[in-house]
Every structure is written in structure tokens, then in C-alpha cells.
Amino acid sequence: MGKPFKITLIDHEWDDLKIEQECIQKRTKKNAPIEFQVLQSRNKDHIIDAIKDSDALLVMYADIDEEIQKAAKKAKIISRYGIGVNMIDVDSASRLGIMVANVNDYCVDEVSDHALSFILSSARRLFTYHEQTKKGDWDFKKASIPLRASNALVGLVGFGKIPARLAEKLNAIGYQVISYDPFIDKVTMEKASVKKVDLSELLASSDFISVHVPLIEKTRHLISTNEFNLMKETAFLINTARGPIIDEEALIVALKDGQISGCALDVTETEPLPHDHILRRLDQVILTPHAAWYSDKAFVEIREKAILNILDVYDGKEPKYLVNKKVFA
């Protein structure tokens, strides 16, 4: 019997690891044992010390850069809990022959529902009415007058799985939907009853702008001062993707100066959001704690599918959610 196939879980935020351990137990072969090491650290030095003989890395939030990848000389795969892989240097991993995998389909309904909830809550002024009514007021005129759905335009920044699902829900309610995505063609969007536009047109014309692009260097601060200058004063900005896509300093200025009406954020540039952060105090801001992905089913799926990527490699197969496919080929 050879050395065990070693999986190192770098970091996680689960109460226990029963789901991962059960998946491993079901797939382990008698003549090829699996060792499951739990580090629970984002410290670079700790990670490097722990992964030198690891065959696979499982990660949630820790940065896995080229230096760490080079230290993991035996590593065949890095699997990430979630859709985004911005914390992993995928280019470096590809050069080093390390597969990178994610879970790109576990929360499509959850995140699209969350974004839709933000849009509907903002559209119907629910949070304003709630706060005023709880304080003793009873006056529908205290909030700015809502738009009828059929008169409102929603702009989707990105048109991947989640925004495409959101578009279905918005169309069913009666919203007009447009989208900016340089990688999706006009015909595909038209089939989904969505009009393809450029980013400047989307920003200038939308009543609600919902962000759904991955975080890469080209999308970092995609929405900043120039973009806020294009938006309507009545516009609401929604972000359920990644915090750094929006330049928060520019956002705060835009909110204070009345350049936009408000925003709803499930993600922020720094997470957790600091207790004294101004976004917590601004009345025009709705906040949730990076919870858009969360549901009973998604909670299980993200964990099973992330570990199953690794167990596919253990079995000599291509991981289902492989990002850098050329490495396996």
C-alpha cells in the first residue's frame, strides 16, 4: 500500500466537516487510503508548511498564490468552495500543471432570488416604509413614489447563469431587462427577452443596476466615479457578486451627493464589513452579510461538489467543475 492521497482543507466556516468526511469515506478504496488534513488558517507561512506533501487543496477564502502553489510540489488540484476563483492564481496553477476547480452551479436560484428581493424591496420602498412605520409614522408619501414594474428598466452587468435566471424572473414580473456582457452575443440575450447594450447605455438608462460579473483585474472597480456620473439620480445599485467590483469610496460619494438613490449590497470590499464603516450608517443602503448563496440545499451542494472535484482526481477522472481544462488534457 502506497502513501495516502492527502487532501488539505486550508480554511472553512462550517460548524463541522461531516459532509466532507462522509463523501471521502464513500469514495476511499482499501488499497488507496485518503488522509484529510484540516489547517483552518489563512496565514501564508502556515499554509506553505502544511501543504508540502498534499495531493489536493480545498480552500474557501485563503489566497493561494504562486509561491504557495510552488511549495505544494505534489498538488494535482485546488478546489474552491464557491463560484469565484479570484483568490487563486489560476494562470500560475496552469503553468505548474495544477488543476483549479470551483462549484459554478450551486446557488443560481438563491443568488438570483436575493438580487430580485433587493430590486423589489428597493422598488416598493419596503425598507423606508418599514423603518418609518415602526417609529410610529403612517404615511405612504414619506418615501419617494415607486415605479410601476412595467415602466422600470433593470440593467444586468453580466449575463452568466445567475443573471440569466434573474432575467427570467424579472420578465415574469413585467420589468424590462437589458444587459452588458461582452462575451454573450445579442441573439442569446434576445432569446431570453433581454436587450444587449454597452455598459455606458446600461448605466445611463437603468432604474436598477444589478452586478453579476466575476472579480478579475479587468472588473476590479468596474463601477467607479465615471460610472456613477452616468447613472440616474433615481437609480438603485445592487451587488450580489464581489465587493471590489464596485469602488466603495466612489459609491459613498455618490450616495452622499445624491448621484444615485440607493444601493443594496450582499458583498463589500472588506468582509466582514468593519463595525464603524459608513455603509452601515447610511439610510440609502441595504446590507446583507454575503448571504445570497445560502439555503438548505446550497449549503450541502457547495460542500459536496467542492470535495467531489478532488475525489474525481483521486479516481483519475476530470473534475466536473474544472476551470483550467487544458491542464487535464
The catalytic site residues sit at: 242, 271, 290
Q: How far apart are CA 115 and CA 109, in angstroms?
A: 10
Asked if 96 and 77 count as a contact pair (C-beta separation under 8 A), the reply is no
Per the listing, cell 408619501 goes with 141
Chain centroid offset of residue 279 CA: 20
In Å, the largest CA–CA distance within the chain is 75
Give φ, ψ of 56 to 5 degrees: -150, 145
Q: How far apart are CA 154 and CA 292, in angstroms?
A: 19
Q: How far apart are CA 98 and CA 64, in angstroms?
A: 12
Asked if 43 and 327 count as a contact pair (C-beta separation under 8 A), the reply is no
Encoded amino acid at 244, one letter: P
Per the listing, cell 460619494 goes with 253
Asked if 169 and 116 count as a contact pair (C-beta separation under 8 A), the reply is yes
Q: How far apart are CA 307 and CA 303, in angstroms?
A: 6
Beta strands in 54-126, from DSSP E residues, in sequence order: 56-59, 77-80, 99-101
Which of 213, 249, 46 shows the shortest CA–CA distance to 115? 213
Element (DSSP H or E) covering residue 196: strand 195-196
272: preceding bond cis by omega (within 30 degrees):
yes
Encoded amino acid at 166, one letter: L
